Amino acid sequence: MSKIVDVKFELKTYKYYKPFHITGSVSDSSTNIEVVVITDIGIKGYGEISPSFRVNGEKVEGLYKLEAAIKESIVNMDVKEYRRIFDVLDKFFATPSVKAGVQYAVLDAFSEEINTPVYYLLGGMKREIETDKTVGIDTIENMVKEAKEIFSEGFKNIKIKVGEDLRKDIETVEEIARNTKEAKYIVDANMGYTPKQAVEFVRVLYKKGVDISVFEQPVVASDIDGLKYVRFNSPYPVAADESAKSKYDVYRLIREEAVDFVNIKLMKSGLSDALAIVEMVKTANLKLMIGCMGESSLGINQSVNFALGTGAFVFHDLDSHLMLKENKFRGKFKQNGSKITIL
């Protein structure tokens, strides 16, 4: 037996190398919660909670106070029976990033006990993945410069943040494409456009010969009809991010035929819902990408293991740790440019 005897939360703040600007939000730091699950034989499993008020309505100050409730809910449970623990933690559905961090810490403890990496516990489908790197909103000149630097570093997939100025966004994406010709582009509006603006955006760029691999969350999260309108009028595949938090959200998106891609983020759903979403999307013959919030290397480790284990994703947007200043790298993975493998 390997029963849980304690759960500990610790606040950690990481500064961005430069302010990270997306539609309607500029961040200069990320405050997360490190989770430690401790078993009766002294094994420790680690996870990270990286909340987003913009997406989930979560504040780190409130989540930190859940430490006692989480401990009370899962203490004396055996980490080997992690799906039973997941079921208990699913009751914290209003705080999905807490689910994600604690569920992963439980899996990490189990993996340490049996000396088997978490990605094997999740299926062991891939040995390597490739992440993109993100260009935040800035001046056209600065965004093009950053995209060129990212491409020169060996990142073949570039994520471009747009959504605050339609005309500028069109010019920016066109210029980035002109300067990084062999790259693939994920363009993320973070809910910044109306449906008609989104359609104008993609049609103008398509006529200019710009190839976009994924057009992510062009409209507000609640506008499923608008998302569907964009999908059926876009020459590029359309993805849901903020519209796809829980498995119930994804079920509706599939039923409404609203998207081509679903972006899973563990902080939106927890591991339990994320596992369900993978199977739902595969059954619907749609495609998946995996993203992140403001995780450090400890939190990105969770998504790396999930992506390698399930092997479910066409695109991987796991770069937040590359934007944060950390005293120590804490992921159980090796990164060589855009390529990520398990240690």
Active site residues: 161, 265
Distance spanning both ends of the chain, measured CA to CA: 27
d(CA 244, CA 43): 34
Contact yes or no for 340/128 (Cβ under 8 A)? yes
Instruction: Judge whether 7 and 19 are in contact, CB under 8 Å.
Output: no
Strand partners, 134: 159
Residues 83, 272: Cα–Cα separation, whole Å: 8
Place of tokens 């104008």: 200
| Distance from C-alpha of 31 to C-alpha of 75, rounded to nearest angstrom | 26
How far apart CA 28 and CA 270 sit, in angstroms, is 25
How distant, in Å, are the alpha carbons of 69, 86, 247, 278, 304 from that of 281?
A: 33, 21, 10, 5, 19
User: Which residues, including other chains, have CB under 8 Å from residue 322's CB and lie 6 or more apart?
Assistant: 133
Burial of 86 (C-beta count, 10 Å sphere; 0-12/13-18/19+): buried
Query: Chain centroid to CA 222: how far?
Result: 19
DSSP β-ladder status, 133-135 and 25-39: unpaired
Q: How many CA atoms lie within 13 A of 307 on its CB side?
A: 30
For tokens 């997306």, the residue is 22
DSSP letter at 314?
S
